[in-house]
Structure formats: structure tokens, C-alpha cells
């Protein structure tokens, strides 16, 4: 059974292995240069605010090949689960149904449950391995740039492309594709639906449950003109103010500036101070007298690993339940 | 001799569509059984129920004394259109069989492939229909099953490949005493090889029995036109056709028919099966076969 699994899987396996290897090699080749820049600009040794080192590092890396490699690597980690789901998971059972070969293989001396269990375990392990290796190299390479960039790795843009969660997404995509293929019995339909499934599974975390996996931090500080991140005033003199979060690379969940009544402050502002007549300084001075408080809820970057392991665990449990369903279905319901 | 398959009140529905209705049947061991019926009669469904790929909606099946289960070492199955893995070579198919079947007979499999002149390095997708069927049969028999099921194995083959396939099958069955159940919608395919017949029409079993016995107990009567109901006790009218002056009946009767008003002929297997097919084709209890 293991031989048959490998024989039927080896082409898809080599294609994706070659893809992962090519990206890993590109990252490994670029890494020494990037780490040199990281050290030479003083970023590596710096622990405080590091304004000068940060600017030097950004100007060195910003338009270099390192940044291109960084983007490609991050994109590859995000795309790998989709490839695994569509090309490893979806065809696994649906192709047998389409060619009728399930009637051949299930009449050898092997039960349907065992046939599926070997494929599920074997290819699932390879999926975890591929995603784990790629994520390991990308996470390591991207460390300096993640630290210097405007988005921390705990933010949704980078979180799913770092650490251990890519392994969970890869496994879920594989099992999900397999289940969809088993239910639809049509190869192309299964591949299309699997793509949708993988995209939804990756969007569900940042837009749904991820922020509930760890307790967020909150900060409540008085209005400080130095920390203004955005300030909008419209024709009706209504205002929208956001201050910067206490930590630059945190994932900001909500950012509101409230007035003395405890509700979101929206003005109206004094047109003489904040209208066309007054300059920004007058407006800031006027706003400072309004007793405004900035309330920010955020997930600090030091919760990164706690969040990673919890989301990874959740993905593993989901993939496990889905696998159990597949094994039950193939024994009971499938012809 | 004992029965390889016992079926009681078996019904299979696909959603609202009925594929098999209240089927009760015993298949004795040691026979080459022909399962014959028109397309859509439920032959594939019955075979897949016996090998455990489908589970019944109602009723009971016992195969070799146990409930059917796919993956049993004792039952071999060659599915309709003889599926094989297009991307795997002939040799890899044999390797698949060797890996997945503990009772695999490698010398039988290799010998058959050599005898057939198949190139082991050839991909199965490039084989002709006849070669593909032979490969599927080789996989099924090298597993050394006690019961071999074949679903329309020769339907897509040309006459020569058909004859070669059936000869190979017969040689194996005769040598090993394996029970074989083979379906076809063509009686001619079964006539040469089967010694037991099951006629399945419109999801019901119409008649079963040994071919010799069936041929001996079915008669074609022709004579002056009369009502088929007056034929007498112990005689069952399978099919009847009438012209203005003449009636032709197909009658099942274990006793010889010695009525001088009829001229009595024997039937060949094809006529017999056709009589049962047309019986079901007519509506309700009306067994008149219009043949103008």
C-alpha cells in the first residue's frame, strides 16, 4: 500500500518539492548578504528605538534583491497550502472515481479504510514536512526585515507565512481537498472548490477567530499630538483621530479616540482653530484641550509564538476531525 | 454442492431510482454463471452488491458464508470497462497486485502476461481494449479468489479479443474450479461459456437455473390461435405471440408436452432469454408478445 501510495503520488510530490527547494536555495544564497547588512547597519546589536540603524537598514534593503527574495518567499509560504490542497488533496479520491479505478484497487485485499488511512497519513506527513521546511527557512531569512518593516510578523499580513502555522494550513488544505474530492467525485470541480476552501480557511483566521486565541493588550492614554497616526476633518467639521499604537509592530485590533463622555470623539471641531484659517499646530493645541483619550486594543509582538502554537493546534484538531470524517465516510457511504 | 452467494429480498435504490427490487437468489458453487439482462437491468448493481462495493437498501446477502466486504481476499472482481491505472505500466500493475494481496500468485500472473505477449514496460493507458481486459482479469485471478465476478468484461472488445478473453477465463475456471459470475447484455457471449444462467430484467430476477435444465424445460409451441390461459396446469406461459390464425407460445414445463394440437420445438438460449426479456417488457400481467 505504501509502495502504491508513493507510485501514484511521486510526480506531484517531485513538482512541489522542486518548487520548495528552488525557493529555499534562493533564500539560503541571499541570506549571508542580508545578515551582513543587518550587522553592518547596527540593527543586529541595537535593542532600543534604533532610529538611525533602522533608517540605514531600510535604505540598504528597501530596493535590493533581498527584498524581492523576501516577498517571493513569503508569498510561497502563503501559496503552498493552496498548491497542496489542489494538486495533492483534491485528486486523491476524485481521480479514482473518474477513471473507475476505485473498483480495481478496492477489490485487492485491502480495505477501503486502510487504503485511505495510508494515503492520508503518508501524504499528510509529506505536506507537513514541505510546509515546515519552507516556513523554517522563510521565517529565519525574514527575521531582520520583519523586525525593521512597518508590519510586524504578528500582523495578519505576515502571520500565516511565518512560524508553525503554515504546517497546519498545509495539512488542513490537503485533508480538505481530499474530503471535497470524495464528496464531489469530480476532479475539476474538486480542484476548484478546494482552492476556494483553502482561501477561506486562510481568511477565516485574521477576519474571524485569531484575535480570540490570546488575550489582547489595551492602552488608554491622553491625546498626544506627537503620536497622531491619522487625523481627518470633513466639511461638517467632524473629525476622526487615530494615534499610533504603543508598539510599532503590534497587531492593532481597534483604535478609537474617545471624548470626555467616553464615546468615540467626532467633533465638531472649532473652525477657527482647525479650519482653513488655523495651521496644524493651532488645531493640535485645540484638540489637546478637549480631554481626549486614545484607547487602543492590540496584540503585542511578544505574543507571536503563543498565538502561533494555539492556531497551529486548532488547525491540527480541525484537520484531524476532517480526517476522521473521511475515514468514516469511505467505509460507510462511498460505493 | 453449497452456495457461493445467497441473496434474500435484496433491494437497492439510488435516491428515488430503483436498481434492484426484492431479489432472492442462490448461486451454487462450481459453476460459470451468466448474468444476463438488458442495459440498465441492475446487473452491475447486483455484482457490486455481491463484492461489497455497494451496500443494500434492504435485504440480505451472504457471500461465501459471510457478509460481503470489499477488500476480501476470497472474491475477485473485474469491474465494467475493465479499469486499470493509465499511468502505471503492466509490470507495475502486477507489483500492485503483489503488494496488496497476500495470496498473490506471481508465477500465474507473470505467466499469463508472457503468454498474452504483453510488454511489461508498456503503460496500461496505451494498451488496446482487449489487452486492458486481459490485464484486469490477470489481476483478479492472480489474487486466487474462490469467487470471481466479472461485469460486462467483453462488452467493449472486438470478436477476436472477446473469444481470447473468454477462452482464457474458461481455461482458468476449469483448471481451478473457481466459481465465476459474469454479466453481459449479449446472450451470445455467455452461451459458449456458461452452465448456469440468471436473467435479470427491469431490476427483477426473472429466471435462474442450469442451462441444460432451462433448455430442457422450455418449449416453443405453435398451433391454431387460442387463449394462452387454456394451456393447462403445471405449464407457465413465458411469452406468447398471436397472428390472426396462429399462436406461438414459449412455455416452461417440467413435464413433456404431448398435446397433438401444438407443434412443439426446443429453444436455444438466446430465444429463451429474449422470451423472458419481452415478458418483462410488456405491461402488468399481460404476457402477450406482439411480434408483427
Three-class SS of chain B: CCEEEEEEEEEEEECCEEEEEEEEEEEECCCEEEEECCCCCCHHHHHHHHHCCCCCCEEEEEECCECCCCCCCCEEEECCCCCCCCCCEHHHHHHHHHHHCCCCCHHHHHHHHHHHCCCCCCEHHHCCHHHHHHHHHHHHHHCCCCEEEEECCCCCCCHHHHHHHHHHHHHHHHHHCCEEEEEECCHHHHHCCCCEEEEEECCEEEEEEEHHHHHHHEEEEEEECCCHHHHCCCCEEEEEEECCCEEEEEEECCCCCCCCCCEEECCCHHHHHHHHHHHHHCCCCCCECCCC
> Do the beta carbons of residue B188 and residue B8 sit within 8 Å?
no
Among chain A residues, CA nearest to B89: A7
Contact A108 B143 (CB under 8 A): yes
- A50 pLDDT tier (thresholds 50, 70, 90): confident
- A291 pLDDT tier (thresholds 50, 70, 90): confident
Select the residue from B55, B66, B67, B71 to test the A interface by mutation, using most A Cβ atoms within 10 A.
Answer: B71
Domain ranges of chain A: 2-214+303-332, 217-300
Within 8 A by CB and 6+ apart from A59, the residues are: none
Contact B83 A104 (CB under 8 A): yes
B207-264 per-position pLDDT tens digit = 899 998 898 889 888 888 877 777 777 788 888 888 888 888 888 888 777 778 888 8
Q: How far is B169 from chain A (nearest CA, A)?
A: 18
B88-103 per-position pLDDT tens digit = 999 999 999 999 999 9
- B279 pLDDT tier (thresholds 50, 70, 90): low
Contacts of B139 in chain A (CB under 8 A): 104, 108
How confident is the model at residue B288, as a pLDDT?
A: 36
Q: Which residues of A touch B (CB under 8 A)?
A: 1, 3-4, 7-8, 99-101, 103-112, 114-115, 335
Q: How far is A110 from chain B (nearest CA, A)?
A: 5
Percent of chain B with pLDDT over 70: 95
* ipTM for the whole complex: 0.86
- A334 pLDDT tier (thresholds 50, 70, 90): low
Q: How far is A7 from chain B (nearest CA, A)?
A: 8
Facing A4 at nearest CB: one of B55, B69, B96: B96
Amino acid at each position: 500500500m505504501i509502495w502504491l501510495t508513493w507510485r501514484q503520488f511521486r510526480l506531484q510530490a517531485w513538482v512541489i518539492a522542486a518548487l520548495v527547494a528552488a525557493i529555499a536555495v534562493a533564500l539560503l544564497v541571499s541570506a549571508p548578504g542580508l545578515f551582513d547588512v543587518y550587522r553592518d547597519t547596527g540593527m543586529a546589536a541595537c535593542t532600543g528605538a534604533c532610529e538611525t540603524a533602522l533608517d540605514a537598514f531600510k535604505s540598504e534593503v528597501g530596493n535590493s534583491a533581498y527584498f524581492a527574495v523576501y516577498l517571493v518567499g513569503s508569498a510561497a509560504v502563503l501559496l503552498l497550502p493552496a498548491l497542496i490542497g489542489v494538486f495533492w488533496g483534491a485528486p486523491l479520491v476524485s481521480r479514482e472515481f473518474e477513471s473507475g479505478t476505485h473498483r480495481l484497487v478496492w477489490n485487492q485485499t485491502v480495505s477501503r479504510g486502510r487504503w485511505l488511512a495510508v494515503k492520508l497519513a503518508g501524504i499528510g506527513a509529506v505536506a507537513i514536512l514541505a510546509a515546515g521546511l519552507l516556513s523554517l527557512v522563510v521565517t529565519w531569512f525574514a527575521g531582520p526585515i520583519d523586525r525593521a518593516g512597518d508590519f510586524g510578523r504578528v500582523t495578519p499580513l505576515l502571520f500565516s507565512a511565518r512560524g508553525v502555522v503554515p504546517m497546519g494550513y498545509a495539512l488542513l488544505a490537503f485533508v480538505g481537498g481530499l474530503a471535497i474530492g470524495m464528496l464531489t467525485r469530480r476532479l475539476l470541480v474538486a480542484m476548484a472548490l478546494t482552492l476556494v476552501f483553502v482561501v477561506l480557511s486562510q481568511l477565516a483566521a485574521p477576519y474571524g477567530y485569531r484575535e480570540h486565541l490570546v488575550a489582547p493588550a489595551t492602552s488608554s492614554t491622553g491625546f498626544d499630538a506627537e503620536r497622531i497616526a491619522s487625523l481627518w476633518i470633513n466639511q461638517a467639521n467632524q473629525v476622526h483621530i487615530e494615534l499610533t499604537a504603543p508598539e510599532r509592530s503590534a497587531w492593532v485590533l481597534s483604535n478609537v479616540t474617545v471624548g470626555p463622555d467616553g464615546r468615540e470623539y467626532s467633533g465638531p471641531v472649532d473652525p477657527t482653530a482647525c479650519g482653513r484659517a488655523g495651521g496644524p499646530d493651532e488645531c493640535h493645541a485645540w484638540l489637546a484641550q478637549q480631554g481626549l483619550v486614545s484607547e487602543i486594543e492590540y496584540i503585542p509582538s511578544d505574543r507571536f509564538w503563543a498565538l502561533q502554537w494555539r492556531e497551529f493546534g486548532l488547525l491540527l484538531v480541525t484537520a484531524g476531525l476532517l480526517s476522521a470524517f473521511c475515514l468514516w465516510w469511505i467505509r460507510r457511504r462511498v460505493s | 454442492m453449497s452456495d457461493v452467494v445467497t441473496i434474500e429480498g435484496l433491494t437497492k435504490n439510488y435516491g428515488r431510482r430503483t436498481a434492484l427490487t426484492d431479489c432472492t437468489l442462490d448461486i451454487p458453487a462450481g459453476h460459470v454463471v451468466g448474468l444476463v439482462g438488458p442495459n440498465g437491468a441492475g446487473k452491475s448493481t447486483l455484482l457490486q452488491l455481491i463484492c461489497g462495493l455497494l451496500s443494500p437498501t434492504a435485504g440480505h446477502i451472504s457471500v461465501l458464508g459471510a457478509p460481503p466486504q470489499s477488500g476480501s481476499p476470497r472474491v475477485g472482481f473485474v469491474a465494467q470497462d475493465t479499469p486499470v491505472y493509465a499511468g502505471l505500466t503492466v509490470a507495475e500493475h502486477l507489483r500492485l497486485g503483489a503488494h496488496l494481496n497476500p495470496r498473490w500468485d506471481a508465477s500465474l500472473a507473470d505467466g499469463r502476461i508472457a503468454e498474452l505477449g504483453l510488454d511489461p514496460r508498456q503503460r496500461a493507458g496505451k494498451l488496446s481494449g482487449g489487452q486492458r481486459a486481459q490485464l484486469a482479469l490477470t489481476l483478479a485471478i492472480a489474487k486466487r479468489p474462490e469467487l470471481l465476478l466479472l461485469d460486462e468484461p467483453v462488452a467493449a472488445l472486438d470478436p477476436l479479443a472477446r473469444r481470447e478473453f473468454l477462452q482464457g477465463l474458461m481455461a482458468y475456471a476449469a483448471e481451478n474450479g473457481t466459481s465465476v459470475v459474469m454479466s453481459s447484455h449479449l446472450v451470445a457471449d455467455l452461451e459458449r461459456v456458461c452452465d448456469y444462467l440468471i436473467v435479470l430484467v427491469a431490476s427483477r430476477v426473472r429466471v435462474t437455473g442450469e442451462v441444460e435444465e432451462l433448455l430442457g424445460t422450455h418449449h416453443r409451441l405453435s398451433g391454431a390461435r387460442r387463449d394462452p390461459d387454456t394451456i393447462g396446469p403445471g405449464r407457465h406461459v413465458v411469452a406468447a405471440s398471436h397472428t390472426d390464425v396462429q399462436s406461438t407460445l414459449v412455455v416452461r414445463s417440467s413435464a413433456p408436452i404431448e398435446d397433438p394440437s401444438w407443434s412443439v420445438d426446443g429453444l436455444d438460449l438466446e430465444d429463451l432469454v429474449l422470451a423472458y426479456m419481452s415478458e418483462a417488457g410488456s405491461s402488468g400481467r399481460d404476457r402477450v408478445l406482439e411480434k408483427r
